[in-house]
A and B are shown apart, each in its own frame.
Chain A
Amino acid sequence: MNTTTTFPLLNAINELETHFDFQAIAKAKLQETGLPTVRDEAWRFTDIRALNQLDLPVASTDTEFEDTDKWWSKGIVNAVTVPYVNGDFDINAELPEGVKLYTCNTAPEELKSQIGSALTDDKTPFVDLNHVLAKKVMILHVSKNADVSRVIHIKGITSADVQVHPRILVIAESFSRVQIVETWQGPAASRYFVNPLSEFVVNAGAIVSHTKLQDDSKTAFHIASIFVKQYGDSQYINHAVQFGAHVGRNDIVAELAASNSVCTLNGLYLPTAKQIHDTHSLVHHAMPHCESHELYKGALSEKGQGVFNGAIYVHKDAQKTNAYQTNRALLLSDNAKVNTKPQLEIYADDVRCSHGATIGQLDKQAMFYLQSRGLDPEVAKAMLTVAFTAEAIADMPEVELRDVIDDMLIEHFSN
């Protein structure tokens, strides 16, 4: 197949010289098979033709960008901010005690060798694209036993008319605790493509909170891949909130690779206008006595489309697994749509798994009750919708950020 004519987005890789084997392999694969289309099962409801058609240059140091200070600062108190602008960051950024920042050529060998270690075979072609086009890998190393007191805020910013492939590796050594917040933004109403690939290596007994807020331009494309590898007695808590992008997608793969680890994947998707918000999650229960909890809520308005595909894979050694998954969607307009598909594959016999999905509308009696007390229908609707979404972010440890998200939700649903 001539992938360049079908996928102008891939023009960026053709001229590129690769430096490593894995890059060369990824490049060849992309040139061979191209990017996903609605003919691929995992992309059936997420039409990215418009993205595939974009012939965008990869952001370079020449790319103009606005002052990083004017971007996200709300609700993240006591945080250390690491701007990640057009795929580049300042290696000398100040970080709290217990955390060190590296990139490939500054990282010690034992860290560098962990790049890619959390990746599984469940990779989309966008992981390959990131392999080929990522410029500077951000490695955050949290040392053993460190209890990091300040939130680390990775402030992702993308300029108009470029494509960017941020690459993040977080290594939390044993018994460390850390909170990472990612925010993603770009100039309003501008068009760009951001394709972050993050890996989290959560070692024994470590506790990692990872909150990701996607607030990109409503005409941009945000396709993210998150891979988590958890070792014994560790906890990983993810909250992913999607507000922005024309197409926003998170592919989250968590591997519970040792016993007694707990993985929580919660999130919100809020497509409106013609936005598509897609969440594909996959939890591998590879070892016994692990738990996974997943709660997603979607509130969709206008012609918004939601896709939720939650897979739980219980491998044969994973006895005593507890895996729970719920996806609830609220359709606020007749034209909004959600496609939800739970996928359970269980190869162990002593497990507790459940999944549930509901699609509903606003409770008319509740609407009337609120209105009869004087509340304008729009306010009543916002109040009920925010109440509906609350559960999915209730456990977000960054409480101040959650309050900001609440305000954003009220504003989002009030117009």
Chain B
Amino acid sequence: MLSIRNLKAAIEDKEILKGISLEVKPGEVHAIMGPNGSGKSTLAQVLAGHPFYEATEGDIEFQGKDLLDLDPNERAGEGLFLGFQYPVEIPGVSNTYFLRNALNAILEYREEEPMDALTFKKLLKEKMEVVGMKDELLKRPVNTGFSGGEKKRNEIFQLLVLNPKLAILDETDSGLDIDALKVVSDGVNNFRNEENGVVLVTHYQRLLNYIQPDFVHVLMEGKIVRSGGKELALELEERGYDWLREEVN
């Protein structure tokens, strides 16, 4: 569903991604690990179409379309979802109002009927239970004054409500306490099925105990330097990144 070929990307003329290739098929979970500043979030943001980043080379195909040709909202319409490492606070826009408009915008993009208020309410209720979101958070403005963990939970909640084809989750596990980590993982597992894909950016092998990845990739200095199965994550946990750095150089 997603194939990235030799992607290079820059921010303010500084090249961050230096030729990345990655193939995600329906039903697969890919974990991306790597040291701070290696370009993981950059990759995620480029996929979602953040205007600050410029893809300078390579191409990305998503669901048979040239992803780089699409605007961020069109990418969402095609079924791409980015769980932000730092979810943005939007004062004055209630969570419910925002989600309802987002969902209907996606349905409209797919030329489907908008969801009626009652069905939407039911959907919210069902998904809230999965991620243990409090009612009160729904009425509050998007992420505004949410704790770090609440913001991450809200990202997973949005993921479940919008039900995309591919979820890119950028460190959704960071800053969570152990119970929340379990809840967020349950959320992701609830989302997973044969037809959709997940790309998990994480620093912690721990998360991968809850969400079993099919592939683990290591990103260093803007390149994928190694790919393997879930045992690669265990190896990284044990040995750190230095041995890979030596191997690359």
- Contact surface of A with B, Cβ cutoff 8 Å: 363-366, 368-377, 379-380, 383-384, 386-388, 390-391
Contacts and interface: CB of A to CB of B under 8 A. Distances in A.
Nearest to A371: B72
B150 to A, nearest CB: 16
B76 A373 contact: yes
Interface residues of B, number: 33
B90 A370 contact: yes
Interface string B71-95: 1110111000110100111111100
A387 B102 contact: no
Given A387-B91, A387-B141, A391-B92, 9 more contacts: A364-B51, A368-B72, A369-B88, A372-B75, A374-B106, A383-B101, A387-B93, A388-B92, A390-B92
A374 B48 contact: no
Nearest to A387: B92
Contact of A372 (B82, B89, B99): B82
Contact of A383 (B48, B50, B82, B93): B93
Contacts of A380: 73
A376 B141 CA distance: 19
16 contacts: A364-B51, A364-B52, A365-B88, A366-B88, A366-B90, A368-B50, A368-B51, A369-B90, A371-B71, A372-B76, A372-B82, A373-B98, A374-B76, A384-B90, A384-B93, A387-B91
Given A369-B87, A387-B91, A387-B93, A375 B101 contact: yes
Contacts of A364: 51-52
B90 A371 contact: no
Given A365-B88, A368-B50, A368-B51, A374 B93 contact: no
Interface string B30-46: 00000000000000000
A375 B103 CA distance: 9
Interface of B: 48-52, 71-73, 75-77, 81-82, 84, 87-93, 98-99, 101-103, 105-106, 109, 141-142, 158, 162
Contacts, number: 77
B91 A374 contact: no
Contacts of A370: 90, 98, 102
A374 B92 contact: no
A387 B50 CA distance: 22
B157 to A, nearest CB: 12
A366 B84 CA distance: 12
A372 B48 contact: yes
B158 A373 contact: yes
Nearest to B103: A374
Nearest to B82: A372
Nearest to B104: A374
Given A368-B50, A368-B72, A369-B84, A374 B102 contact: yes
Contacts of B93: 383-384, 387
Given A383-B101, A387-B141, A377 B90 contact: no
A-B pairs with lowest CB-CB distance, top 3: A387-B92, A374-B76, A373-B102
Nearest to A380: B73
A114 to B, nearest CB: 41
A386 B94 CA distance: 12
A384 B158 CA distance: 19
Given A369-B87, A386-B92, A387-B91, A375 B105 contact: yes
B105 A376 contact: yes
Contact of A373 (B71, B89, B141, B162): B162
